[in-house]
Amino acid sequence: MPQRHDFWSTLILLLLILDPLGNLPMFLAVTRHVDPARRTWVSLREAAIAYLVLLLFMAAGRRFLELLGLEQSSLQVAGGMILLLVAIKMIFSGSEAMFGDPAQGEPLIFPLAVPLLAGPSALAAVLLLGSGSWKTIGLHILALSAAMAITALVLLLADRLLSLLGDAVLRAAEKLMGLILSAIAIDMLMRGLVAYLVKA
């Protein structure tokens, strides 16, 4: 039961950070010059690149902390602060404002894979998840795979979802996700501070 809870809690956290619904307007803006026949391939390719980047950071999390001599509590505090900033941005602004005017042509890596999907908050989160015990890393990898598969599916259905739900509903969903993410960020920040103070 604890392992199942760990998987679902990690999956929900990653989905909130990846924010596939909130990223739909930005995705459509970036790919508006892409041939509709190529948009499916672009969606899958960028999601796969983002997945590989996040997987690399998750796998190297423990080694990275050991190399820098950092405690997990320090990364937890830093990750909580980053998530809180992202949550505030989700609540009070739109996705387009993060990257400016999208470039014309077919995007490659920037800005869809990085930093729209594999952004600073997602990298910090998977780095923290990868720094846990070896018993949980397998579950975290499964959760990351599931979260990225859901994100890729949402991107593939971008046009249909936007026409079905409308921009206003997507904006409201993004703000709700931001509110939930802010609570998770505060909890992560407080846990990191408590762990640091206990060791001090």
Amino acid at 198: V
pTM: 0.79
5-34 pLDDT tens trace: 689 999 999 999 998 988 887 788 788 888
CATH number of 9-199: 1.20.1250
Closest CA to 21 of 171, 188, 137: 171
Instruction: List, in order, residues 6 or more apart from 84 with CB less than 8 Å away.
Output: 182, 185, 186, 189
Using the CB atoms, write b or e for 144-168: b if 16+ within 10 Å. Answer: bebbbeebbebbeebeebbeeeeee
Q: What is the mean pLDDT of the chain?
A: 83
Q: What is the largest CA-CA distance in the chain?
A: 58
Q: Where are the domains of the chain?
A: 9-199
CA distance 150 to 146: 6
Closest CA to 20 of 135, 127, 158: 158
Question: What average pLDDT does range 146-157 have in this prediction?
Answer: 96
Percentage, residues of the chain above pLDDT 90: 26
Flag whether pLDDT at 98 surpasses 60.
no
CA distance 52 to 45: 11
Question: What average pLDDT does range 43-55 have in this prediction?
Answer: 96
pLDDT tier for residue 100 given thresholds of 50, 70 and 90: very low
Amino acid at 48: A
158-177 pLDDT tens trace: 888 888 888 788 778 878 88
In the prediction, which pLDDT does 3 show? 59
Distance of CA 200 to the CA centre of its chain: 31
32 or 139, which is more confident: 139
